Amino acid sequence: MIAASLALLAAVPASNSLSAAEIYRYDIQGAAGICQPALSQHAESLRARPLGLVNEGAGPSFVTCTFRGDPRAGGRGATRLVAHVGNVGSATANVSCTFVEGSQLGDQSDAVYRTKSVSMFAGTVGTPLPWEPSEIAGGPELIYQPAVQCMLTPGAALHYITVAYDEDVGA
């Protein structure tokens, strides 16, 4: 019995020789749950629906969305962030979203801003606005402190935000 146990232990590689395995994962969150009006005057025209945050007003409205992040070395950073937008109105609608990566402490900021826009016909659904680490100054490997602010014209909707990442699941 002891000899069999020793043989089994000898066959197992040392823990430092194991390589980590990663699984591609993503979190999809409804905009109504993680976004809010950028200013109180925008709240009157925004309707939080189960499937999106919709501008039901007569003029543009702004929403801000923030996400969990882990900027520590080895932290779980995102490999991609996507804002899923659409048009639930009867006229053409526009969405312009600005991705923000970084932080601000007092008057010190290392934030990077990248804006993407789309114009959509009435009834347009599932239009993605994606951002990846290569779009950030310096081309970091991952996105650690993401946020998005979107301008929605009447009828425009911010439906979901997807944050994709690789999860270390061991060997």
Per-residue pLDDT tens for 81-114?
999 999 999 999 999 999 998 888 999 988 889 9
Q: Model confidence at 72, in pLDDT bands (50, 70, 90)? A: low
3, pLDDT greater than 80: no
Cα angle: 51, vertex 98, 39; to 5 degrees: 70
Per-residue pLDDT tens for 148-169?
999 999 999 999 999 988 877 7
Quote the CA–CA distance of 20 and 35 in Å, as a whole number: 34
pLDDT for the residue 93 = 98
| 3-class DSSP state of 2 | helix
Listed residue (32, 45, 161) closest to 100, CA to CA = 161
CA distance to 4, 104, 163, per residue, from 170 (Å): 26, 34, 21
Residues of the chain above pLDDT 70, percent: 83
The full set of domains in the chain, from first to last, is 21-170 (2.60.120)
- Spatial contact of 111 and 121, defined as CB atoms under 8 Å apart: no
**What's this model's pTM, rounded to 2 decimal places?**
0.81
Largest pairwise CA distance in the chain? 80
Per-residue pLDDT tens for 9-65?
444 444 444 566 888 888 899 999 999 999 999 999 999 999 999 999 999 999 999
